Amino acid sequence: LIVHAPGSLLPTIRSRCQMVRLTPLGDEELMTVLQGIEPPPPEEPAARAALAERAGGSARNAILLTQYGGLEIAAALDALVAARKGDVAGAHRLAEAVAGRDQAIQFDIFNRHALDLLSSRASEAALAGDLARAKALSEAWQEAQNAISETETYNLDKKQHALIMIDRLNSAMRM
């Protein structure tokens, strides 16, 4: 029996449980795990650092990022958000890459990275004391989360969702 919220268990069951706290893997441990899979992790130190950062210490995330083009998806989304002028062709290329029939994992990677961008910018704004910007970014995060849920629940057009998400990110980052 594995539970992520032990407080929700009955006390009689909880008293017979053992608590095992797991911590995220370090960068070297993560690369050791990835040595046994195909394709192997990138050789360049900068690419390895980017992979470790985006995986967040999770072997599963690192494997998904290496096997399903997650690093490329994240880099493309970062470039679209960082560009001062909207790159419509680039947005359509990325949307097509993540919205295909057999692209569920890529679509999930895209959505998670979009949410991560919003949450990290909201955290940065809050730490800098810009509470109005932090509030606006956290509201944009909530809207994005709702859009993801609606797209998955009602099986909406994923390409359209990706294009709207890119536009939503661009609008939120320029506030």
Summarize pLDDT for 4-57 with one digit per residue, the tens. 888 889 999 988 888 888 899 999 999 999 998 888 888 999 999 999 999 999
Q: How far apart are CA 33 and CA 159, in angstroms?
A: 33
Total Cβ atoms within 10 A of residue 161:
21
- Asked whether the beta carbons of 36 and 63 are under 8 A apart, the reply is no
The predicted structure's pLDDT at residue 2: 82
- Asked whether the beta carbons of 65 and 109 are under 8 A apart, the reply is yes
What are the tokens at 115?
């949410």
Asked if pLDDT for residue 146 goes beyond 90, the answer is yes
For 94-113, how does the pLDDT look when each residue is reduced to its tens digit (9 = 90+)?
A: 999 999 999 999 999 999 99
The predicted structure's pLDDT at residue 84: 75
The predicted structure's pLDDT at residue 39: 85
Q: Report, as an integer, the average pLDDT of 113-122.
A: 97
For 52-89, how does the pLDDT look when each residue is reduced to its tens digit (9 = 90+)?
A: 999 999 999 999 999 999 999 999 999 999 987 889 99
Asked if pLDDT for residue 1 goes beyond 80, the answer is no
Asked if pLDDT for residue 119 goes beyond 80, the answer is yes
- Asked whether the beta carbons of 103 and 69 are under 8 A apart, the reply is no
The predicted structure's pLDDT at residue 133: 97
Q: How far apart are CA 104 and CA 98, in angstroms?
A: 8
The predicted structure's pLDDT at residue 3: 83
